[in-house]
Structures are given as structure tokens and as C-alpha cells.
Structure 1
Amino acid sequence: MVTRSLAAAADGLVVVLLTAGVYLALVAARFVWFPLAFTWPRPTTPVTVVVAGLIATVYLTVAWATTGRTYGAGLLGVRVLGRRGGPLGWARATLRALACIFFPVGLLWCAISPTRRSVQDLLLGSVVIYELHPDPGVRVTGGSRDPGAGPGT
């Protein structure tokens, strides 16, 4: 739970920075096109929330569908995989991202679940593994992996 929370905090910071970057890019474009009439745009809270939500959805989807890790997950040695240990795929990665954004409390289920799976994992057939030594070629068979177990145990 602590590892996943720290990874989520790092990813939240990435989304905030990406959102700020999009805002600054739009401000720069507005300044280039209308330099004499330039004023700083003041987006409303709903607009900011929707844009940040879209950025978070794209960020999580791309990360989970391609490498199985977001920036925060990479820092803490966490990876999201499909049931059989392969990549999550674009459709399930998108659905998982949306579920995590719109129902974040479902992530807390991993704290009491005997299999350490969140509601999102249970619904979408994903699994979160902990890798002490990340190796992109590793494929997991089964529902989870004990990071402390060595070969043959």
C-alpha cells in the first residue's frame, strides 16, 4: 500500500507538471498570435479538472499499455500486467486508467485484499507486481509474484 501510494504521488506530480506544460504552451501560442492584446488566460476549475483528467488518462494508458509502468511505478519497482503476465493492452489500460481516475477509492481495496489486488485489478484482470530488479523481458505466470522468492522456490 505504501509503495503504490508513493508511486501514485509521483505520478500525480507528473500529471500536474504536464498540465502546467500544456497551459504554458497554450499561453505561448496565444502570445505569439495576439501579442498586443495578450492577457493571461484564467481557465475555470471545471476546465482545469477536465484537462488534467484527460492528461492523466492518456499518461496512465500509454504507460500501462506499453511498458506496464508509469514514472512513479518505475521509481518504486512496480509494474501493471495482464492476467497471464503480458502487457495490459490498450483497451484494458484505458479502462483501468479511467477506473483509477473516476473511482480512486477502489485502489484502497488492495490493503485488505488477500491477493493485494485493487477493485480495478479485479474488474479488469490486471495484476500489480513488485520487481526488485526490473527486467523488461520478465513475464509473470499466475496471479502474483513474491519478490523475495528466488529461483526454484
Structure 2
Amino acid sequence: MSPPNYAGIVSRLMAVLIDAAALTVVTPIAVLGPPMMWQSLAGTPPAWFTSSFQIAGATLPLVYFSLAWWATGQTLGGLVLAIMVRRADGSRVGLFRAALRATLGLLFAPIWFFGMILVLVQAHRRAMHDLVFGTVVVRKPAR
């Protein structure tokens, strides 16, 4: 088995941009779509209905990153660029680790991006958050 091919900073940042673009399109549809449909069919939706979709929209990025990294190691951006998140030993990322990685990345995005500078100098191209969570971002092997 060949050693992993670690993803560089450009691939990683492009993947984040793709994910941000996807979330920018999907989130308003998820938040506004069902209440607008309710209104067109039955009048003003109840406050609990509208609020529940607002909460869902607020948590959508966390759910998206957590489930994607846990289930396949890839978000949409990772899929497009053929990169994936793995544990440092090459195994899959567990749900708790994926959720924690996503939570802290979303809450502290400027620190997350600043920590990407380490990709340029670290042996396995690991960013600061990769070192903290014991993860690596690798190129997906061709089948």
C-alpha cells in the first residue's frame, strides 16, 4: 500500500469555498421554503413551524460537516476535489470527533483559517485543527 497523498492548502480552501457556496444556496431554501409553501396552501404558518425551520437552518452547517466527515470523510467540496478527512492513522473519523471538529471550525472560523498556514510547513500538511483533532486531509485514492 502506498503512503497517503496529503492534500495541500489550495485544495482544502477550494473545498471549503464549494461547501460554503452549497450551504449558501441550500440554507435559505431549507429555512424559507416550507413556511412559504404552508402560507401559499393554508395561510400564515404557526410560529412554532417557522421557528423550527429557522433552528434547522442555523444548525445545517454543523450537521452537514459532521455527518459528511463521519459517513464518508468527504463534503461536497471534498468530493469535487477528491480529498477526504481521515484520522492520522488512516481510519475513518468518528461522529463525535467529526462533530467537535465541525463545531469548533464553525465557531472559530478565523482561527481555523489562520491555522491553515501550518499546511505549508507541516510534514503531513496538517493544519492546526488537524493536529488538535488527530486528523489529516488526504487525496482520495483512485479506484
TM superposition score normalised by structure 1: 0.70
- Indicate yes or no: 2:128 matched with 1:123: no
- Per-residue deviation, 1:5: 1.1
2:109 equivalent to 1:109:
no
Equivalent residue, structure 1, for 2:33: 24
- Shift in alpha-carbon separation, 1:118–1:107, aligned structure 2, 3 A: farther
Pick the structure with more helix per residue. Answer: 2
Alignment-derived partner of residue 14 in structure 1: 22
The equivalent of 2:65 in structure 1 is 60
Partners of 2:61 and 2:36 in 1: CA distance: 21
Mapped contact 2:65–2:75 kept (Cα < 8 A): yes
Query: Which one-letter code corresponds to 1:69 in the other structure?
Result: Q
Count residues in correspondence: 124
% identity of equivalent residues = 24
CA distance in structure 1 between the aligned counterparts of 2:26 and 2:78, rounded to whole angstroms: 17
Could you say what the CA RMSD is over the residues aligned between the two structures, in angstroms? 2.4
Equivalent residue letter for 2:22: V
Structure 1 stretches of at least 4 aligned residues deviating more than 6 Å after TM superposition: none
Confirm or deny: 8 A CA contact 1:109 1:117 kept in the other structure: no
Query: CA separation of 1:118/1:30 partners in 2, compared to 1, >3 Å: closer, same or farther?
Result: farther
Please tell me whether Structure 1 or Structure 2 has the larger radius of gyration of its CA atoms: 1
Cα offsets for 1:13-42 (capped at 9, x unmatched): 1111221221212211233231xx58xxxx
Contact (CA 8 Å) 2:28, 2:57: kept in 1 or not?
no
Measure the CA separation in 1 of the matches of 2:84 and 2:132.
17
Note closer, same or farther for the CA distance 1:119–1:12 as it changes in structure 2 (3 Å cut): same
Q: Which has the bigger relative contact order, CA under 8 A and spacing at least 6?
A: 2
SS in 2 for 1:100: helix
Q: Any stretches of 5+ residues in structure 2 without a counterpart?
A: 1-8
Deviation, structure 1 residue 51 = 5.4
